[in-house]
Amino acid sequence: MRIPKLNNGLYRSRDGVILGVCKGLAEYFDLKVFWVRALSLVAFIFTGFWPAGILYLIMALIMKPAPVIRPLDEAEEEFYHSYADSRSMALGRVKRTYENLERRLRRLEDSVTSRDFHWDRRAGSR
């Protein structure tokens, strides 16, 4: 069963051979992976290793990896792109989450290590 491609996405395949560029291009243009890889090999042979190799690496850096779970609608796809496009924004969200967790942990630690906690605990255990 073939997984349908996303509406407007050129993605690197997660299960490709080398960085998933050829398989991603094949899925996007609805071609067989063999022909895209054969064309890449011909490009490597006739242009020399460096021009085709640099182009391949640039494509691997520019193309986003395919989502692990394909988005079902436009809202999910937009959510994926917001994380994939802006790594600094995603890092900021993770940082805020951990700061909130740290703040909650400090409040809990302050209440557990306070003198009132020990008196409340003694009073409650009797």
What are the pLDDT digits (tens) for 55-111?
A: 999 998 888 888 777 777 887 777 777 776 677 777 777 788 899 999 999 988 888
* 36 pLDDT more than 90: yes
Least confident of 1-15, 16-30, 31-45, 50-64: 1-15
Q: What are the residue boundaries of the structural domains of the chain, listed by start?
A: 1-70, 86-126
Kindly report the number of other CB atoms within 10 A of residue 126's CB atom. Answer: 4
Per the model's pLDDT, the better-predicted residue between 26 and 81 turns out to be 26
Q: What tokens appear for 89 in the block?
A: 């924004």
Contacts with 103 (C-beta within 8 Å, 6 or more apart), sequence order: none
Q: What are phi and psi of 12, to 5 degrees?
A: -75, 140
Give the residue from 78, 54, 51, 62 showing the smallest Cα distance to 24.
62
The identity of residue 118, as a single letter, is H
Q: What tokens appear for 71 in the block?
A: 């988005």
What's the pLDDT at 11?
Answer: 84
What's the pLDDT at 22?
Answer: 92
Burial string for 49-66 (b: 16+ CB within 10 Å, else e) reads: eeebeeebeebbeebeeb
Q: What is the DSSP string of 46-103?
A: HH-HHHHHHHHHHHHHHSEEPPSS--SSHHHHHHHHHHHH-HHHHHHHHHHHHHHHHH
